[in-house]
Amino acid sequence: MSDNPVLDRETYRKIKKMSREEMHNFLIRYADGLLADEDNKTIDLSALENELRQVKGIGAKRLEEIMTIIEKHLDI
């Protein structure tokens, strides 16, 4: 989990003052925004590794090096 807060202070204060209906609408808009956000894509590393294994010229040692680089860039 990142160190950055999910809500900034101003948004938090607005939420505290919301009625139940306003909060409901806010959560619906927030959830829709999360679903539409394309930065939240995931990668199945085992499927990626299996596909890379099928590429001609990539042996076990080279595949291990590639997977290490990918994991490094994904902060795993």
Boundaries of every domain in the chain: 9-40, 42-76
> What backbone phi and psi angles, to 5 degrees, belong to 37?
-70, 115
Confidence of residue 17 (pLDDT cuts 50, 70, 90): very high
Confidence of residue 76 (pLDDT cuts 50, 70, 90): low
Q: What is the pTM of this model?
A: 0.45
Asked if 24 contacts 55 with a C-beta cutoff of 8 angstroms, the reply is no
Segment among 2-6, 34-38, 40-44 with least mean pLDDT: 2-6
Segment 29-50 mean pLDDT: 77
Furthest C-alpha separation in the chain? 61
Q: What is the pLDDT of residue 9?
A: 87
